[in-house]
Amino acid sequence: MTVFDYPMEKMSVYVSDDGGSELTLFAFMEATRFARHWLPFCRENKIQERCPEAYFGSLDGEQSKGMKDLYEEMKGKIERAVMQGRVTDDLLDGEEARIALEKYWTAEFTRRDHPAVIKVLLETSVDVDITGHPLPNLVYISREKKRGVDHHFKAGALNVLMRVSAAMTNAPVLLTLDCDMICNDPQALQRALCHLLDPHEEASPKIAFVQFPQRFRGVDKHDYANEFSNIFRINPMGLDGLGCTNHVGTGCFFRRRALHGPPSSVPMHTNSNCSERCGKMINSEAILRMARDVASCDYEHGTKWGLEIGFRYGSLVEDLYTGYQLNCEGWKSVFCDPDEPAFLGDVLSRLNDALSQNEWWMIGLLEVAFSKHNPLVYFIKTNPVAGFAFAHYAFYPIWGIPIMAYAFLPQLALFNQIKLFPKVLDPWFFLYTYIFIMAYLHDMVEFVSFKEGTLMKWWNHQRMWMIKGVTCFPIALLVFSLQKIGVSAAAFNVTNKSLDDPQSMRYEKGVFDFGVWSPFFLLLATTAVVNLVVLVVSVVRCVMEGGFGEVLVQVFLCGGVVVNCLPVYEAMMFRKDGGRLPGGVTATALVLALGLLVVSHFCF
């Protein structure tokens, strides 16, 4: 965040470490030392790409060797600590760092059970870079964790950040960023402030947040695994037109006031704790005590935090949930999508990871859909069109039902020679075909005409949609239903961020990775096998016995699924690399497919 072209002494960076790892604190201690050299270097050389990893990665030759050496030295130390799993004395430079780490990471300290750790790493009134310019405040926070106390995942962490930052600096504008994101545009802050402070815009004081899209580094040319441009960039443009773009969890500038209640009920300035804070250093014992207090597990007990204040609890997609509740309260929101990405995240390169991430999202969406803040009943009162738009998100996983139905039922019927659709030249046939083609065409035109959209990317997107439709959507529906009847509990997997391994190399080449045992792949492989078998059987039957016109729609559906599943057949039969579908999955899928065909014979 230190990339912003903005006076550093007016910015504070709060880092939340929900994993409570000494390695993270150590990495930040190292980063502060590097920042003292790096920030003036960027300023002097007018560097736009200020994430050092990205900058040095795209650099050729021997330019800025000294700076690169410093960076490599820091990186090397952090990597050594990560490899060892702990920070050894030889890695620590000063006594102060060692004392800080020893003070907190005692023998009783575990990830799930530890006191709040708050460490001021930089204080702007004291710390300067090597040219004497002030550095921003930098504070490391690992909130208190106790076994058995609900910590509300990311929303809980963000609420702690909100309170600690209020105790320390209380800036009126907050930027939230995920751990896997980098800032890519030094002007992003100004862009957001233009909206939040616009004197000519009547709605400006009512704008709760300015959302930048989630965009990704390292997306392969045809984006076969999806950067979700339809969800993250196309749909929000429409919502922006309605004044209520959705919040996507990261790359978002909030008006702090908006998170404290409806526009009419909150005073223009929420500097309520200024009298306690003013004039004190953030590293003073009084401020630190207050910060630890608000970062404790019990602080929220009996308060409105998570219900009416701060980020809202109750859904794994706290972002959508919080954003839309703010809109319901009367706040507006803005979508800001400059051509040059303001923030960039890491793309998930493993198909299985992407599917399991989607499973969690889908469960979170269902939690919104079936909550008392259901967009249909709750939002329709204020803005019907936006209500439907949010319902489109919240009920998205329901797609699993029709997609599963269309992936299996017409095919099994066809296998048993049952005709489901009107035959060719029947007037209904034209209506069906018209609706089908128009729906697909609409999706395609919308996608391809958008900024970097291409036909190939669209094809991959629709394929991914189909893959999700037979894997994570139905599984999410099942898990959610089980949760509702009390069978299993919600959990949150932090998604895998590592990028340098064989799987990622396959990703870069645009090849799917099927190399793990996963229920997703089992469902996908079963779909693939059933459709292929039925396609072959029915084509042979049509050639021998005729009557193609009567089953054209069913054969077409079957063929469509088969074409979409080509990479699956390849992964089952022809691939030799680690991304090949495990034999066990293939065998189980064959048995399941056979079972389905046999059972269907008795049912139809």
Q: Give the contacts of 418 (CB within 8 A, at least 6 positions apart).
A: 604
Measured distance CA(553)–CA(531) in Å, rounded: 14
User: How near is the Cβ of 26 to Mn ion at its closest, in Å?
Assistant: 23
Structure tokens at 93: 């430079």
Q: Is 353 a catalytic residue?
A: no
Output 355 or 407, the one with its CB closest to ligand UPG.
355
Output 181 or 208, the one with its CB closest to Mn ion.
181
Residue 249's binding partner among ligand UPG, Mn ion, none (Cβ under 5 to 8 angstroms by kind) is ligand UPG
User: How near is the Cβ of 520 to ligand UPG at its closest, in Å?
Assistant: 16
319, 337, 353, 367: which one binds ligand UPG (CB under 6 A): 319
User: How near is the Cβ of 180 to ligand UPG at its closest, in Å?
Assistant: 5
Confirm or deny that 89 is annotated as ligand binding.
Answer: no
Torsion of CA 270, 273, 275, 280, to 10 degrees: -120
Structure tokens at 223: 């984006």
Total residues at the site for ligand UPG (CB under 6 A)? 18
Q: Which of 18, 240, 346, 353 is catalytic?
A: 18
Measured distance CA(186)–CA(57) in Å, rounded: 19
Q: Is 501 a catalytic residue?
A: no
Residue 97's binding partner among Mn ion, ligand UPG, none (Cβ under 5 to 8 angstroms by kind) is none
Residue 238 burial (CB count, 10 A)? 13
Structure tokens at 444: 């395609």
At residue 506, what are phi and psi to the nearest 5 degrees?
-65, -40
Closest by CA to 333, choosing from 412, 415, 389, is 389
Residue 22's binding partner among Mn ion, ligand UPG, none (Cβ under 5 to 8 angstroms by kind) is none
User: How near is the Cβ of 315 to ligand UPG at its closest, in Å?
Assistant: 8
Q: Is 306 in the site for ligand UPG (CB under 6 A)?
A: no
Residue 255 burial (CB count, 10 A)? 24
User: How near is the Cβ of 599 to Mn ion at its closest, in Å?
Assistant: 40
Confirm or deny that 337 is annotated as ligand binding.
Answer: no
**Interface with Mn ion by CB under 5 A: which residues?**
178, 180
Strands 173-176 and 332-335: unpaired
186, 213, 236, 249: which one binds ligand UPG (CB under 6 A): 249
Residue in the block written with tokens 């919040």: 247
31, 42, 122, 317: which one binds ligand UPG (CB under 6 A): 317
- Using only the alpha carbons of the chain, give its radius of gyration: 27
Residue 415's binding partner among Mn ion, ligand UPG, none (Cβ under 5 to 8 angstroms by kind) is none
Confirm or deny that 484 is annotated as ligand binding.
Answer: no
Residue 340 burial (CB count, 10 A)? 10
374, 416, 433, 495: which one binds ligand UPG (CB under 6 A): 495
Render the burial of 508-539: b for 16+ CB within 10 Å, e for the rest: eeebbbbbbebebbbbbbbbbbbbbbbbebbe
Binding site residues, as ranges?
18, 154, 178
Binding site residues for Mn(2+), as ranges?
154, 178
Q: Which residues bind ligand UPG (CB under 6 A)?
A: 16, 18, 153-154, 157, 178-180, 249-250, 317, 319, 357, 361, 364, 492, 494-495
Q: Report the catalytic residues.
A: 18, 319
